[in-house]
Structure 1
Amino acid sequence: MAFNLEYTSKRQDISYTLTVTADVDGDLAIELTGKDDDSVLLAQGNLQLPPGGAAETAKLLRDALVAVSALDTKRRSTGNAHQPWSAEQDSTLREAWLAHPPTRPAAEVIRELAEHRRRSAAAIRARLPRVGCDPDVTGRLLTETTAALVGRDAVVAS
């Protein structure tokens, strides 16, 4: 039986497309592409599998990708971890937070800000109240009420 399947996913501004095609003999062709928002090709790969080869290949790929992901996570250290924050870094963090609409999930924006600043998401979340921003609602400043809820280092926005 011949068929064609297509799966898509987006992660860190890269749109991934995985296309699986089977011919009448059961041979599989798998193509992966990854493109940025400007349609620049950043990832590409092809597999040709014989009938019955998908399950074992999937196990091998999963094991290999889990191992590579672990290495990649160690390699992508938060280069500014434990470094003091400058007034300029505080200012740009505040501006970046306030530039996002409240409809964007806070956790997603915090991860983006962390990656861009080479700090952990926890560091960004902890710093936001110190610059007068509500870490739970993207684009929102702290009020007296929300500052009391966030903690002792929170600064009420002026």
Structure 2
Amino acid sequence: MNIIEEHRTEVRTGNITYSIQLTTTPAGEPGTPARTSIKVRGVGERGEPVADGGFETDTAEVTTVAALLSETLLAHGGMAGGRRRARPSAESRGRPWTAELDADLERRWLAGEGIAEIAAELGRTPGGIRARLPRVGCDPERAGEYLPRPPSKRQEEAEPW
């Protein structure tokens, strides 16, 4: 068997190293298409196998197979939390904000606490904290600062001539 092309890739993600090997062999007898063998192996940081498999396909179909695999793996990863990071659910997520919680949020932000720290203390998500900060008058882009008054409020508060 003559190998006309071989490609190897090694990728490390987290504590797992994946190796992917593609080997393309020429067509055999007339009417027999060229074939591509695809092998995937993943090992953990101690060398323990976490993924192992492979298959062979008609070389002309590699692009189609790659698109199908990509689409399927991304869809499955989204369902299983693979592509998106699984986030722990905050205990107070979705519960209404009270005046007391708003005051606590404002006090903590102005004291210089970070979003992650405030979220953990209040049982909220970091996104929930970022979204609530402007509602209590705080600038979510600048820790420890209030938002400037909008121009519409400045005109209302201006003294009459």
Runs (4+) off by over 6 Å = none
**Residue type of the partner of 1:72?**
A
Q: After the TM superposition, which residues 4-153 of structure 1 pair with which residues of structure 2 at under 5 Å, given as runs?
A: 4-25=6-27, 26-73=34-81, 77-82=86-91, 126-127=116-117, 150-151=143-144
Q: Note the alpha carbon deviations across 1:116-147, whole angstroms, 9 max, x for none.
A: xxxxxxxx96229x9xxxxxxxxxxxxxxxxx
Q: Note the alpha carbon deviations across 1:51-92, whole angstroms, 9 max, x for none.
A: 311011111111101110110128974335237xxxxxxxxx
Instruction: Say whether the 8 Å CA contact 2:39–2:54 is kept in structure 1.
Output: yes
Aligned to 1:117: none
CA distance in 2, matches of 1:61, 1:125: 38
- Secondary structure of the residue aligned to 2:60 is coil
CA distance in 2, matches of 1:60, 1:18: 17
Give me the TM-score of the superposition, normalised by structure 1: 0.50
- Secondary structure of the residue aligned to 1:127 is helix
CA RMSD of aligned residues (A): 3.4
Percent sequence identity is 18
CA distance in 1, matches of 2:46, 2:61: 35
Instruction: Say whether the 8 Å CA contact 2:24–2:59 is kept in structure 1.
Output: no
- Secondary structure of the residue aligned to 1:18 is strand
Structure label with greater radius of gyration: 2
Give me the TM-score of the superposition, normalised by structure 2: 0.49
Q: Mind listing any 5+ residue stretches in structure 2 that lack a counterpart?
A: 28-33, 93-113, 121-141, 146-161
**Residue type of the partner of 2:117?**
R
